[in-house]
């Protein structure tokens, strides 16, 4: 006989459906998992790290135990705000001291993009599991080296693709897998915002690697892949640059197409220069899902051919994410589609998009 857990896994296709329906599962054997907690150190205590730390206050299976920072004045605040022992804060120079701290199972890299490569590899060498923010790197080569280093060290590498843990997104994936949308015919994905401070690292190529595409366009790339369940075989792209001064070093607005083996084309766009730009629309021959907003911190909203969607929005995405990843690392649950290999697939697509732009919109085969 199938257990309720089996049933839920079939519904959502992975262990990560469970948080969506958490009220149904409170008596399941999973309750015992709370005995174990994944002890995590955040590396780079900026605004996203602060969001993750806040979300982790509600985690059952993951716990924030420390931080790595180049700004010593943050230690007092972080320690009192998040209840973290001051002894568990390190400088970047002292990063390797984490190796001898048995209270640390995993490090979560929340540094500017171009620093991910170095810190993932240094963490892997210490034998710590690694969670790394998106984009995982600033080049395909770097991504491959990061995966190889984690493999060699026998540690997990996950990318911070939080949407894979978010209920509306999970429902979209479930519906697509269950055939409720029929054959997928088209995907439309866009995400962007108007960037502020012209001096921020996000506009500097050396730290960011690229502009809107690397930062938020990557959500659309990832979404086109989970909306179709396919990997693209070609890319074509163009850039619109309306402010060449502010966006001197990085891309401003990019539109691109991703062609899939089934013949489906995803039409995508991203920007750093205007707001109100956030949607994922997946159309099949039997139905559709439209999420808008689709990638921000929420609440995500959506509708399908059956009507308005209504899913649990009570938790921060990162709470689900960190509990979900803890389950994989501590309890051997199957990896969701957020591994280093998944990050590498997105990096190859980003690379092809930039190549297409450089070649005047030419179709690039993958
Ligand atoms: P912030 O600028 O807010 O924070 C980055 C932190 O990195 C800084 O506060 C600083 O922390 C540290 N740092 C070390 N060296 C540098 C440097 N040379 N320049 C700037 N900062 C430095 O960035 P975010 O938190 O917004 O982004 C960090 C990462 O998280 C990025 O990769 C981004 O793409 C990703 N991100 C992911 C999101 C998601 O939803 N998954 C959302 C937002 C960001 P300290 O002072 O402690 O050393």
Tens-place pLDDT, residues 241-298: 999 999 999 999 999 999 999 999 999 999 999 999 999 999 999 999 999 999 999 8
Q: Does residue 218 have a pLDDT over 90?
A: yes
Distance between CA 347 and CA 95 in Å, rounded? Answer: 27
pLDDT tens string 116-143: 999 999 999 999 999 999 999 999 999 9
Of 45, 111, 197, best ligand 1 pocket probe by most atoms within 8 Å of the beta carbon: 111
Closest by CA to 272, choosing from 240, 303, 301, 233, is 240
At residue 208 the predicted structure's pLDDT band, cuts being 50, 70 and 90, is very high
47 lines ligand 1 (CB under 6 A): yes
Q: Rounded to the nearest whole angstrom, what is the distance from the C-alpha of residue 52 to the centroid of ligand 1?
A: 12
At residue 35 the predicted structure's pLDDT band, cuts being 50, 70 and 90, is low
pLDDT tens string 66-93: 999 999 999 999 999 999 999 999 999 9
Residue 219 appears among annotated catalytic residues: yes
DSSP assignment letter at 133: P
At residue 7 the predicted structure's pLDDT band, cuts being 50, 70 and 90, is very low
110 lines ligand 1 (CB under 6 A): yes
296 lines ligand 1 (CB under 6 A): no
Contacts of 169 (CB under 8 A, 6+ apart): 163, 223, 226, 291, 294, 300
Residue 362 appears among annotated catalytic residues: no
At residue 30 the predicted structure's pLDDT band, cuts being 50, 70 and 90, is very low
Distances (CA, A) of 259 to 96, 106, 284, 366: 44, 37, 16, 10
Q: Does residue 231 have a pLDDT over 50?
A: yes
Across the chain, what does the average pLDDT equal? 92
What's the confidence (pLDDT) of residue 21? 35
Cβ atoms of 103 and 65 closer than 8 Å: yes
Of 91, 116, 133, best ligand 1 pocket probe by most atoms within 8 Å of the beta carbon: 133
What's the confidence (pLDDT) of residue 298? 85
Contacts of 248 (CB under 8 A, 6+ apart): none
Closest by CA to 363, choosing from 262, 265, 281, is 265
């Amino acid at each position: 006989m199938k257990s309720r857990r089996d049933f839920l896994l079939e519904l959502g296709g992975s262990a990560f459906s469970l948080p969506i329906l958490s009220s149904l599962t409170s008596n399941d054997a999973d309750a015992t998992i709370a005995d174990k907690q994944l002890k995590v150190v955040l590396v780079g205590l900026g605004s996203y790290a602060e969001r993750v730390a806040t979300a982790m206050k509600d985690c059952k299976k993951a716990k924030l135990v420390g931080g790595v920072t180049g700004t010593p004045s943050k230690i007092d605040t972080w320690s009192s705000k998040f209840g973290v022992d001051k002894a568990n804060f390190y400088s970047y120079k002292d990063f390797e001291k984490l190796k001898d701290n048995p209270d640390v199972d995993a490090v979560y890299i929340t540094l500017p993009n171009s620093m991910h490569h170095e810190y993932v590899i240094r963490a892997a060498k210490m034998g710590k599991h690694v969670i790394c923010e998106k984009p995982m790197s600033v080049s395909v080569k770097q991504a491959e080296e990061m995966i190889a280093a984690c493999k060699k060290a026998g540690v997990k590498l996950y990318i911070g693709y939080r949407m894979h843990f978010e209920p509306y997104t999970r429902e979209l994936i479930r519906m697509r897998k269950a055939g409720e949308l029929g054959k997928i015919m088209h995907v439309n994905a866009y995400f962007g915002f108007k960037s502020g401070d012209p001096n921020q690292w996000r506009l500097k190529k050396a730290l960011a690697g690229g502009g809107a595409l690397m930062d938020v366009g990557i959500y659309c790339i990832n979404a086109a892949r989970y909306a179709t369940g396919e990997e693209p075989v070609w890319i074509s792209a163009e850039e619109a640059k309306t402010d060449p001064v502010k966006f001197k070093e990085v891309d401003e607005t990019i539109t691109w197409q991703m062609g899939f083996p089934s013949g489906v084309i995803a039409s995508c766009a991203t920007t750093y220069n205007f707001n109100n730009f956030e949607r994922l629309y997946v159309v099949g021959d039997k139905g559709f899902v439209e999420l808008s907003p689709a990638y921000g911190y929420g609440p995500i909203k959506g509708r399908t051919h059956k009507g308005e969607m209504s899913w649990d929005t009570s938790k921060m995405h990162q709470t689900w994410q960190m509990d979900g990843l803890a389950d994989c690392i501590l309890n051997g649950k199957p990896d969701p589609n957020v591994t280093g290999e998944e990050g590498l697939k997105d990096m190859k697509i980003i690379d092809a998009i930039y190549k297409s732009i450089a070649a005047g919109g030419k179709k690039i085969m993958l």
